[in-house]
Amino acid sequence: MHANTHVTLTSLAARDNVRGALICAVIVFGLAFDQFVPFWGQTLTSVGLWILLWLWVRNAPQEEKITLISCVIYATLGECFLSLVWGLYDYRLGNIPAFVPPGHALLLMLGILLTRRLRDWITWAVPVVAAPFVLVLAVTGADTFGLLLFAILILCMIFSHARKLYAVMFVLSLAMEIYGTWLGNWTWRIDVPWIGLTTTNPPLAAGVFYCVLDFLVMTTVRRYRLRGTAMVAQGI
């Protein structure tokens, strides 16, 4: 019994390692492909990410399917608002690349995989380490927007049970933002529209937007779980 359990856990860990490595490779090479291969780069990157997401959703348990699908929906709506309406950042071709929504879902799954592996101390270590940098950037006027974003992060961590995931996503998404803006896939506007604040390219606290996305996804999953529990209790 114990041997079988050990084998199962080992195989699951190996599967997660492959999935995590594949997500990292697709994001790293996909963004570079989008930047340096005209037209076909963005097209093939989009096709690749949608295929990878479809394969994941097809074989996933129901709750994981809800996680991925709801993430794609929220990410699409969020991108339309943040980029096209609010104008916080602009993509290289002035569009929202088709690979962005599935990319958000896969990045979330990578965050969930890492959250399972990392120790609990990371939960509050991330905001504690980030706080002085956010404060310095705000005081110097380089990133006054970051102070607002950081406050939203703290609220998300206070009012949600997925605190560790938010800490992981804060770091993970910042790494992706630095890489994507360095390549030139997208650019954040230094003067934040509507509210008269300033930021950097990318903002240090850009990961807060991903945390809010994850908050919406986790809330949706939790409601789905509660609805299923209620239906079982009622004998439906």
- For residue range 29-68, list pLDDT tens digits in order: 999 999 999 878 999 999 999 999 999 999 899 999 999 9
Residue 233: predicted pLDDT: 55
Residue 125: predicted pLDDT: 96
Q: Is the pLDDT of residue 1 over 80?
A: no
Decide: helix, strand or coil at residue 198: strand
pTM beyond 0.85: yes
Percentage helix, strand, coil, to 5, in the chain?
75, 5, 20
In residues, how long is the chain? 236
Residue 165: predicted pLDDT: 94
Residue 31: predicted pLDDT: 96
Distance CA 168, CA 123 (A): 8
- Residue 210: CA count within 13 A, CB half-sphere: 31
Torsion of CA 96, 102, 104, 108, to 10 degrees: 180
- For residue range 89-111, list pLDDT tens digits in order: 999 999 999 999 999 999 999 99
Question: Residue 39 burial by CB count (10 A; 0-12/13-18/19+): exposed, middle or buried?
Answer: exposed
The two tokens of residue 112 are 């969930």
The two tokens of residue 82 are 């943040």
CA angle 32, 19, 60 (to 5 degrees): 120
- For residue range 176-201, list pLDDT tens digits in order: 999 999 999 999 999 999 999 999 99
Give which of 200, 133, 204, 143 is closest to 170, Cα–Cα.
204
| Residue-range domain boundaries for the chain | 2-233
Average per-residue pLDDT for the chain: 90
More confident residue, 15 or 208: 208
Cβ proximity of 196 and 151 under 8 Å: no
CA angle 121, 11, 109 (to 5 degrees): 50
Distance CA 106, CA 30 (A): 13
Alpha-carbon distance values, 77 to 3, 98, 174, 197 (Å)? 46, 13, 21, 23
Q: Is the pLDDT of residue 236 over 70?
A: no
Average pLDDT score over residue span 117-133: 95
Residue 235: predicted pLDDT: 56
Q: Is the pLDDT of residue 3 over 60?
A: no
User: Is residue 157 very low, low, confident or very high in pLDDT (cuts 50, 70, 90)?
Assistant: confident
Residue 227: predicted pLDDT: 74
